[in-house]
């Protein structure tokens, strides 16, 4: 209520230069963006860079602010502070404001938001500058682009399945050939089987079209599989930005680690590049702390192995068909009686969950040998 | 004849909490021009209440004492209370029993009965009264008032209750049965409590109609506050006595609103989810088949048969002569003109309120809606009295023009438009507007092409109900109509007051013919809202 | 907040749309309902006039039809009751759209006269109407007259059982046996005569007994219909309701006979219907023409020959031959200028009749 409306910038947001395939430019630049609704600060200073033609997933729990960030980028909301720039042109900031319909964006909402009073074809034509035959052929082309039969153009949105609706919504958003595609939880309303197929189809279409894409989701698997870059949002801030592999295997903090997937967290003692825990000494790359720490491993790093040097007893199992979650009681950390004992050192003996394909192998009470592959990540001890 | 919002289909918001958070503060109270506009509309709708309050305050205690605390007011109070206390429970019992029979039993012909039980709404109460006076000339007193108003208004309970019954989740009843309750116990302990909201809403509407009705009671010499205010008006234009009676009547209405909200407690009117697949079980009637059929037949004969028979009888007695002359055509044209203008203006005024209510729910919106809710419960006579006085003293330019009458119609019938528009706007979520903007349409174009377009059918439905209200409106029209205005209702009234029953019959017939499609629309709408 | 930029534009559209629709709707509406819209400056001979009419709509309509046919001047009627319209004219004051005011009874005329809103009648009207049927002030004129009667059910009452005076109806033996239409101006005029003849205390006590004894109906026709049906023995109404119904079908009056109180009884009151031209009228000339027409030969003959059965009072036109001649009614002498409608309403309110 404080800021008066802002004059639209004289220049259009069209790119100042043609992006060169070899030269990856920053298509979107979000810097220092803050946004409050009433007394609630939803975004507390967000910086994000998205490269031309790449796909970024913003992932976070409900209420973390990820949808607000997307709406700011789209132009449905304006930031209280900070700025948003597209292709180097500021579209929202202290001295600029470009409303949504003037930004070169495509937007696909959670349920597709197809206009119920228009047919599929009319929905797609809605954003087209052309009419008539040209539009009709473009509609057919776009439907094919999202792997749908052009005959669907005559149908009503209500006659489509959820996945088809989402694909039409994508075709509609693509019709204007936007430079930036914004997807707001587009797959969450679909059931599991359809979700994967639709996600794959959408992903392929977008990468074929070479459109810069931002996907907002609360589903970490979706984020990891869909994007080139994952930005983890927590409590109004981006906790970590990186490639899916990096954020999954080397999360910046414990909350991120646990949000992005199952994590085995053990008490450990960090000395040099080795973390001492119930699983023995685990190598850690560039540890940030020493002494008492939490060690994080992904469950798939812990394997049942004949002759492994770690021992545990199966507590119970959960059978999921293709794999079984096995809960294992680890032996306490072996202590050399001749060494003096540091009172802060962990004692070990935790129960951990790992996964295994063979349900028959692990009956409760069975003694197992384990081994650890790869490196662990450590976080400061927080009690 | 608006129906409580319990019959309104409102889609559950599909969006998660986050999206609501995204609605944000700027949007939480709404864009300021809309808020300002709505505040103006709400202030306008509080005019009658303000008028009565001011008049009462200005009258001074002596006048109040002299004009309010007197035996005549006692009589009116007795009559009015007796009317409400007897009629409302009767309407509730008949409405629920009827709804249960047509929705939950295997009574033969229940589909036809379902329509027939809603049909009495198409017969204006004062036409009903005219027919009954033709049948029993000595009809009058509390008995007459109760008889006519019960037969005219029970559908106001029946329609919403039937809608709830038809969409009620059968699982609840099944769990009742599985806990060992017999069918009757299930009805009383499981079904009936779920009907409470719809029945209370219907009962409130019946009560408000009872307080506001003039013609039906005047015709049978049954005096209520409204008829007494009108008598005072005819003797003194806008004297203090009329104003004092109006303030007592207003107090009465406010008490009813309070009572209804207490009944409702914290519960909101149930919203209809889109996903509920209702296929309620129907009980076999067995030995009750014949009493059930007879009961419904008797009700239909009394509520529908008697008025139709007498209107037709007077038409036959009158012969072709009663159709000649231009008065009938003039009245029909003016009624249509006012109906259309009133429906358009009312819908247009209701739109911003509905828009705020759906898109920006919050304390401001609640307040504005509350103001509208209270004002809409003001009887036509009070609204008319207020507008006559205000226009004559403060806005002489519009005095005795169509503007004032249309304004009165807007005040009286806004809720009908509002309820429908709210449901319509709920079908046009903000996301669709945003999708259009993201497709390059400026907000203005997006709004017109998407929100307005999607709301149009609901707006038309609401406008039709407002139209229905205007066609049958008598009191405010009598007081406010411009010189030379004749509507079907006023002409019918003028002729039947001079006991020219044959001359009045064509007007009665036209009002019924105009009302019938709207009543059917209302009935169909409640069924649709219930997901059938 | 910048979001509001969008919302502002959006809501402006909504506003514009709403304003547009309202204007259109009202235009459509007033097109059909404001015949007085053509009102210009005062003057042209065919300028329409507005008549606030408390007389029976059918009677005034016959006057209007004949008048318009003769002069080409169009007339718009606003129908209402005596006191409703008199109070309305007073409330409207100088802004009143009324050019002419017609009543059934004189108290409402007196009320408007006392408010100083009549312009007075011209010499032509004065020459047409005998002095006894117009006030000495000449601010308005009588246009017709009607007599109070006790309409009774022939099978319920014999001649001998009839009340000798209207005042007798206050006695307990009449409890529950008679009817009236206390909310109507007709009855209120009768009470005003009683007030003038018997004083305030006697009138109030009579009204209080009436509250006990009588049944209230809305309208004289309805009261007569009740008498006819035997719901009550008799009713205080005006004479012409009976004659009107007899001339039509008689279905509401065949069991009814009329009893005239005579003897200068308050119940023998003959009420003068009045007509006057408003000082605020912008069409004085046409308004006077209308009043001249009503009190002239043609207008009064409509009373003689039409279905109203009211008494003519001017231009030497005799009453319908079916009626008891005016001079045989032995009506009490009451100065029309002294009839006080406000006081009557107050007394009736006090008695609980209103």
B2-32 pLDDT, tens digit per residue, is: 444 333 333 333 333 333 333 333 445 677 8
Choose among B19, B427, B446: nearest Cβ to A67.
Answer: B19
**What are A189-200's pLDDT values in tens digits?**
778 877 888 888
Both C279 and C291 in one domain: the answer is yes
Q: What is the model's pTM?
A: 0.78
Is B37's CB within 8 Å of C11's CB?
A: yes
Mutate to test the interface with B, among A2, A69, A78, A100 (most CBs of B within 10 A): A100
**What are B144-165's pLDDT values in tens digits?**
999 999 999 999 999 889 888 8
**Could you tell me which residues are beta bridge partners of residue A353?**
A327
Please give the residue of chain B at the shortest CA–CA distance from C89: B237
C254 located within any domain: yes
Confidence bin at B298 (pLDDT 50/70/90): very high
Q: What is the CATH number for C192?
A: 3.40.190.10
Both C171 and C203 in one domain: the answer is yes
C200 located within any domain: yes
- Range picked from B269-273, B465-469, C36-40 for highest mean pLDDT: B465-469
- Residue B484 in this model has a pLDDT that exceeds 80: yes
Q: What angle do CA C26, B122, B472 make, to 5 degrees?
A: 35
The rounded mean pLDDT for chain B is 83
Give me the number of domains chain C comprises.
2
What is the structure's pLDDT at B17?
A: 33
What is the structure's pLDDT at B273?
A: 36
Give A 207-266 residues with CB within 8 A of chain B.
none
Q: Is C133 annotated as a binding residue?
A: no
Q: Does C6 touch chain A (CB under 8 A)?
A: yes
CA C205 to CA C75: how far, in whole Å? 43
B52-73: b or e for each residue (b if 16 or more CB lie within 10 Å)?
Answer: beebbeebeeebbebbbebebb
Please give the residue of chain B at the shortest CA–CA distance from A173: B439
Walk me through the domains of chain A, giving residue ranges and CATH numbers.
26-104+178-249 (3.40.50.300), 262-380 (no CATH)
Both C197 and C249 in one domain: the answer is yes
Choose among A5, A92, A100: nearest Cβ to C4.
Answer: A5
**What are B221-261's pLDDT values in tens digits?**
898 988 888 888 877 766 778 888 888 888 888 888 888 77
Both C284 and C169 in one domain: the answer is no
Both C194 and C309 in one domain: the answer is no
- Give B345-370 as a DSSP string: HHHHHHHHHHHHHHHS-SHHHHHHHH
What is the structure's pLDDT at B13?
A: 36
Q: Is B329 helix (H, G, I), strand (E, B) or coil?
A: helix
Both C190 and C299 in one domain: the answer is no
Q: Is C311 annotated as a binding residue?
A: no
Both C233 and C347 in one domain: the answer is yes
Neighbours of chain C (3+ CB pairs under 8 A): A, B
C192 located within any domain: yes
Contacts of A326 (CB under 8 A, 6+ apart): A304, A314, A317, A353, A354, A355, A356, A362
Is residue B195 within 8 Å of B264, Cβ to Cβ? no
What is the structure's pLDDT at C129?
A: 94
Please give the residue of chain C at the shortest CA–CA distance from B359: C7
- Find the helix or strand (DSSP H, E) in which A26 lies: strand A26-37
Q: Lowest mean pLDDT: which of A84-88, A240-244, C8-12, C58-62?
A: C8-12
Is C1's CB within 8 Å of A1's CB?
A: yes
What is the structure's pLDDT at A322?
A: 83
What is the structure's pLDDT at C22?
A: 44
C231 located within any domain: yes
Is C6's CB within 8 Å of A2's CB?
A: no
Residue C213 φ then ψ, to 5°: -85, -30
- Residue A345 in this model has a pLDDT that exceeds 90: no
**What are B435-456's pLDDT values in tens digits?**
999 998 898 899 998 998 888 8
Both C209 and C295 in one domain: the answer is no
Chain C nearest-CA distance from A1, in A, is: 4
The rounded mean pLDDT for chain C is 85
What is the structure's pLDDT at B407?
A: 94
Q: Does A99 touch chain B (CB under 8 A)?
A: yes
Please give the residue of chain B at the shortest CA–CA distance from A66: B18
- Find the helix or strand (DSSP H, E) in which A280 lies: strand A280-283
C41 located within any domain: no
Choose among B28, B435, B454: nearest Cβ to A117.
Answer: B454
Please give the residue of chain C at the shortest CA–CA distance from A8: C5
Q: Domain range spanning residue C260?
A: 146-269+342-351
Cα distances (Å, whole numbers) of residue A5 to A92, A249, A354, C8, C227: 11, 45, 55, 10, 77
Choose among B237, B399, B448: nearest Cβ to C87.
Answer: B237
Q: Does C7 touch chain A (CB under 8 A)?
A: no
Contacts of B269 (CB under 8 A, 6+ apart): B4, B5, B6, B8, B197, B198, B201
Q: Which residues of C touch B218 (CB under 8 A)?
A: 218
Handedness of CA B480, B481, B482, B484 (dihedral sign): negative
What is the structure's pLDDT at B248?
A: 86
Is C77's CB within 8 Å of B482's CB?
A: no
What is the structure's pLDDT at B528?
A: 66
What is the structure's pLDDT at A201?
A: 84
**What are C150-188's pLDDT values in tens digits?**
999 999 999 999 999 999 999 999 999 999 999 888 898
- Find the helix or strand (DSSP H, E) in which A93 lies: strand A89-93
- Give A355-376 as a DSSP string: EES-GGG--TT-EEEEEE-S-B
CA B307 to CA B125: how far, in whole Å? 10
Is B21's CB within 8 Å of A40's CB?
A: yes
**What are A314-328's pLDDT values in tens digits?**
998 888 888 888 999
What is the structure's pLDDT at B266?
A: 55
What is the structure's pLDDT at C218?
A: 83
Q: Which residues of B touch A40 (CB under 8 A)?
A: 21
What is the structure's pLDDT at A234?
A: 93
Mutate to test the interface with C, among A8, A71, A78, A93 (most CBs of C within 10 A): A78
What is the structure's pLDDT at C37?
A: 36
Q: Where are the alpha helices (DSSP H) in B213-305?
A: 215-219, 225-236, 240-264, 289-300
Is residue C141 within 8 Å of C291, Cβ to Cβ? yes
- Residue A23 in this model has a pLDDT that exceeds 60: no
Is A97's CB within 8 Å of C4's CB?
A: no
Single out the residue of C10, C14, B26 nearest to residue A71, CA to CA: B26
Q: Does C4 touch chain A (CB under 8 A)?
A: yes
Both C56 and C93 in one domain: the answer is yes
Is residue B338 within 8 Å of B470, Cβ to Cβ? yes
- ipTM of the shown complex: 0.76
Q: Which residues of B touch C222 (CB under 8 A)?
A: 221, 497, 499
Both C225 and C346 in one domain: the answer is yes
Please give the residue of chain C at the shortest CA–CA distance from B241: C349
Both C320 and C206 in one domain: the answer is no
**Could you tell me whether strands A237-242 and A229-234 are parallel, antiparallel, or unpaired per DSSP bridges?**
antiparallel
Both C217 and C242 in one domain: the answer is yes
Walk me through the domains of chain B, giving residue ranges and CATH numbers.
1-7+62-310 (1.10.3720.10), 325-497 (1.10.3720.10)
Q: Does A1 touch chain C (CB under 8 A)?
A: yes
- Residue A184 in this model has a pLDDT that exceeds 60: yes
Q: Is C57 annotated as a binding residue?
A: no
- Residue A21 in this model has a pLDDT that exceeds 60: no
- Residue B369 in this model has a pLDDT that exceeds 90: no
What is the structure's pLDDT at C45?
A: 57
**What are C107-140's pLDDT values in tens digits?**
889 889 988 999 999 999 999 999 989 888 899 9
C336 located within any domain: no
């Amino acid at each position: 209520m404080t800021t008066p409306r802002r004059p639209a910038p004289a220049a259009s947001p069209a790119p100042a230069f043609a992006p060169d395939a070899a030269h990856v430019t920053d298509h979107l630049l979000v810097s220092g963006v803050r946004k409050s609704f009433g007394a609630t600060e939803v975004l507390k200073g967000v910086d994000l860079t998205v490269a031309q033609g790449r796909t970024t997933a913003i992932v976070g729990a409900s209420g973390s602010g990820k949808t607000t960030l997307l709406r700011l980028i789209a132009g449905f909301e304006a930031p209280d502070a900070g700025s948003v720039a597209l292709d180097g042109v500021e579209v929202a900031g202290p001295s600029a404001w470009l409303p949504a319909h003037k930004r070169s964006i495509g937007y696909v909402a959670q349920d597709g938001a197809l206009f119920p009073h228009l047919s599929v074809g009319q929905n797609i034509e809605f954003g087209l500058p052309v009419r008539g035959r040209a539009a009709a052929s473009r509609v057919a082309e776009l439907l094919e682009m999202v792997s749908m039969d052009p005959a669907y153009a005559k149908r009503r949105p209500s006659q489509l399945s959820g996945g088809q609706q989402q694909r039409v919504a994508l075709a509609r958003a693509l019709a204007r050939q936007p430079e930036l595609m914004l997807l707001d939880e587009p797959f969450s309303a679909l059931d599991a089987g359809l979700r994967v197929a639709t996600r794959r189809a959408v992903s392929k279409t977008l990468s074929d079209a070479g459109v810069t894409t931002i996907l907002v989701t609360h589903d970490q698997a979706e984020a990891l599989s869909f994007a080139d870059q994952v930005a983890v949002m927590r409590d109004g801030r981006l906790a970590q930005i990186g490639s899916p592999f990096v954020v999954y295997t080397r999360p910046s903090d414990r909350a991120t680690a646990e949000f992005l997937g199952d994590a085995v967290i053990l008490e450990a003692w960090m000395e040099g590049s080795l973390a001492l825990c119930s699983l023995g000494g685990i190598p850690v790359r560039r540890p940030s702390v020493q002494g008492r720490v939490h060690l994080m491993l992904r469950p798939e790093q812990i394997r049942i192995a004949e002759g492994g040097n770690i021992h545990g007893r199966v507590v119970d199992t959960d059978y999921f068909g293709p794999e079984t979650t096995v809960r294992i009681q680890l032996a306490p950390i072996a202590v050399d009686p001749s060494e003096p004992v540091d009172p802060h050192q962990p004692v070990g003996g935790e129960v951990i969950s790992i996964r295994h394909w063979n349900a028959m192998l692990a009956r409760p009470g069975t003694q197992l040998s384990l081994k650890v592959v790869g490196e662990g990540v450590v976080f400061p001890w927080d009690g | 004849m608006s129906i409580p919002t319990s019959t309104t289909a409102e889609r559950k918001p599909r969006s998660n909490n986050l999206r609501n958070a995204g609605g944000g503060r700027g949007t939480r109270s709404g864009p300021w021009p809309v808020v300002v506009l709505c505040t103006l509309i709400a202030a306008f709708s509080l005019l009658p209440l303000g008028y009565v309050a001011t008049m009462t305050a200005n009258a001074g205690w002596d006048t109040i004492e002299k004009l309010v605390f007197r035996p005549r007011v006692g009589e009116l109070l007795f009559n009015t209370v007796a009317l409400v206390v007897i009629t409302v429970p009767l309407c509730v019992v008949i409405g629920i029993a009827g709804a249960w029979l047509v929705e939950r039993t295997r009574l033969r012909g229940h589909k036809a009965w379902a329509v027939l039980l809603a049909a009495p709404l198409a017969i204006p109460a004062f036409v009903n009264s005219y027919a009954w006076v033709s049948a029993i000339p000595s009809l009058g007193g509390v008995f007459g008032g109760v008889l006519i108003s019960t037969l005219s208004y029970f559908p106001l309970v029946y329609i919403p209750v039937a809608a709830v019954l038809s969409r009620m989740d059968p699982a609840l009843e099944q769990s009742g049965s599985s806990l060992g309750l017999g069918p009757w116990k299930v009805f009383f302990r499981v079904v009936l409590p779920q009907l409470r909201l719809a029945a209370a809403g219907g009962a409130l509407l019946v009560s408000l109609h009872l307080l506001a009705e003039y013609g039906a009671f005047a015709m049978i010499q049954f005096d209520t506050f409204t008829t007494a205010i009108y008598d005072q008006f005819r003797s003194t234009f806008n004297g203090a006595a009329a104003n004092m009676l109006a303030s007592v009547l207003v107090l009465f209405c406010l008490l009813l609103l309070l009572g209804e909200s207490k009944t409702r407690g914290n519960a909101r009117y149930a919203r209809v989810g889109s996903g509920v697949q209702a296929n309620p079980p129907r009980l076999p009637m067995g030995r009750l088949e014949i009493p059930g059929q007879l009961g419904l037949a008797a009700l239909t004969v009394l509520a529908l048969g008697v008025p139709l028979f007498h209107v037709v009888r007077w038409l036959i007695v009158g012969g072709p002569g009663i159709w000649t002359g231009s008065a009938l055509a003039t009245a029909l044209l003016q009624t249509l003109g006012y109906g259309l203008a009133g429906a358009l203006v009312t819908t247009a005024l209701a739109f911003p309120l509905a828009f705020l209510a759906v898109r920006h729910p919050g304390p401001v919106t609640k307040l504005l809606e509350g103001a509208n809710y209270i004002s809409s419960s003001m009887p036509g006579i009070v609204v008319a009295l207020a507008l006559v006085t205000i226009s004559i003293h403060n806005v002489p330019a519009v005095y005795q023009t169509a503007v004032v009458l249309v304004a009165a119609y807007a005040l009286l019938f806004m809720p009908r438009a509002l309820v429908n528009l709210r449901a319509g706007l709920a079908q046009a979520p903000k996301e669709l507007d945003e999708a259009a903007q993201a497709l390059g349409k400026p907000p203005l174009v997006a709004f017109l092409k998407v929100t307005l377009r999607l709301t149009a059918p609901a707006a038309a439905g609401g406008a039709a109900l407002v139209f229905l209200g205007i066609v049958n409106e008598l009191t405010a029209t009598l007081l406010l109509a411009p010189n030379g205005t004749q509507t079907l209702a006023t002409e019918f009234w003028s002729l039947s007051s001079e006991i020219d029953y044959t001359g009045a019959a064509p007007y009665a017939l036209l009002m019924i013919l105009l009302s019938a499609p709207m009543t059917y629309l209302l009935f169909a709408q409640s069924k649709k809202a219930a997901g059938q | 907040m910048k979001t509001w930029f969008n919302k502002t534009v959006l809501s402006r559209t909504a506003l514009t749309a709403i304003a547009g629709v309202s204007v259109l709707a009202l235009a459509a509406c007033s097109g059909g309902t404001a015949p007085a819209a053509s009102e210009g400056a005062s003057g042209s001979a065919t300028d329409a006039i507005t008549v606030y009419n408390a007389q029976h709509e059918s009677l005034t309509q016959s006057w209007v039809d004949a008048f318009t046919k003769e002069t080409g001047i169009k007339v718009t009627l606003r129908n209402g009751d005596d006191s409703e319209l008199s109070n309305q004219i007073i409330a409207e004051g100088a802004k009143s759209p009324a050019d002419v005011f017609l009543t059934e009874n004189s108290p409402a005329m007196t009320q408007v006269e006392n408010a100083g809103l009549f312009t007075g009648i011209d010499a032509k009207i004065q020459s047409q109407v005998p002095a006894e049927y117009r006030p000495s002030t000449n601010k308005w004129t009588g246009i017709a007259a009607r007599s109070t009667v006790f309409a009774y059910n022939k099978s319920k009452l014999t001649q001998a059982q009839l009340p000798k005076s209207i005042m007798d109806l206050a006695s307990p033996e009449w409890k529950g046996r008679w009817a009236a239409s206390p909310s109507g101006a007709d009855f209120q005029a009768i009470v005003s005569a009683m007030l003038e003849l018997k004083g305030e205390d006697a009138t109030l006590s009579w009204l209080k007994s009436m509250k006990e004894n009588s049944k209230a109906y809305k309208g004289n026709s309805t009261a007569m219909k009740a008498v006819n049906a035997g719901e009550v023995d008799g009713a205080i109404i005006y004479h012409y309701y009976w004659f009107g119904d007899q001339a039509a079908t008689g279905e509401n009056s065949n069991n009814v006979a009329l009893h005239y109180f005579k003897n200068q009884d308050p119940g023998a009151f003959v009420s003068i219907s009045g007509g006057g031209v408003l000082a605020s009228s912008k069409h004085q000339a046409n308004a006077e023409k209308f009043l001249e027409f009503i009190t002239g030969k043609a207008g009064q003959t409509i009373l003689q020959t039409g279905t109203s059965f009211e008494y003519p009072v001017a231009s030497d036109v005799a009453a319908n031959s079916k009626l008891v001649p005016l001079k045989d009614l032995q009506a009490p002498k009451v100065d029309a200028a002294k009839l006080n409608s406000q006081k009557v309403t107050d007394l009736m309110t006090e008695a609980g009749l209103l």
